[in-house]
Amino acid sequence: MEVLFSDAHLLVVNKPVGVPSQPDPTGDPCVVDLLGQPGLTVPHRLDRPVSGAIVLTRTAEALRSMSDLFADQRVDKTYLAIVEGRLEGERTLEHHLVHDARAHKARTVAAPQKGSALARLKVKEVTLGERYTLVEVRPEGGRFHQIRAQLSAAGHPIKGDVKYGARRGEPDRSVALHAYTLRFPHPLSVLLLEVEAPVPATGLWSRLWPAGRGPA
């Protein structure tokens, strides 16, 4: 697993698709298991079928600080997604989301209701294809399955994301969503960290995000 940043307090890696961030009912090895380093804890999560940058902490103090940063929305996150259809230009999506625990998914509702939360998603076209568009996505709020649910509600489900309306799934059950950059103050120093997880170099990713291309 590619290491993006490491010091005495933090470890940031590029999580492959198919690897759970934390132990789950399948019993499959999670990120911590695969890294094989004692004392690592994950203060946030990436969905199993998603790739990209994920933060792990090495100490209890770092875990408390990073958990607070995520809870206070002080971690700036940029994702890349390949979505169905032609999604041109820039826009901000706003939806009221409800976490449907039984179905293990997020639902959009037309108006605020008990248990719902307003979610905003900034979306910017990067590469426009015939049937798919590569977009840069910046979520505000970090709600459960926020990006997947909001892009689907806008009529542009993520490639491979059959849970949220994609036409077909991928053989490896991945969805074309990648946690591209994380930017946050180091919890135990004065550093402002910015890490970038290289974009997958396979399939449609390689055509819509050519090798050597810079940030979106």
Q: How far is CA 120 from CA 35, 112, 139, 160, 184, in A?
A: 34, 14, 6, 23, 20
Answer for the pair 30, 24: CB distance below 8 angstroms, yes or no.
yes
The one-letter code for the residue type at 51 is S
> Which residue out of 7, 24, 28, 47 is catalytically annotated?
47
Q: How far is CA 21 from CA 25, 63, 104, 123, 150, in A?
A: 12, 15, 16, 25, 22
24 labelled catalytic: no
Residues designated as active site = 47
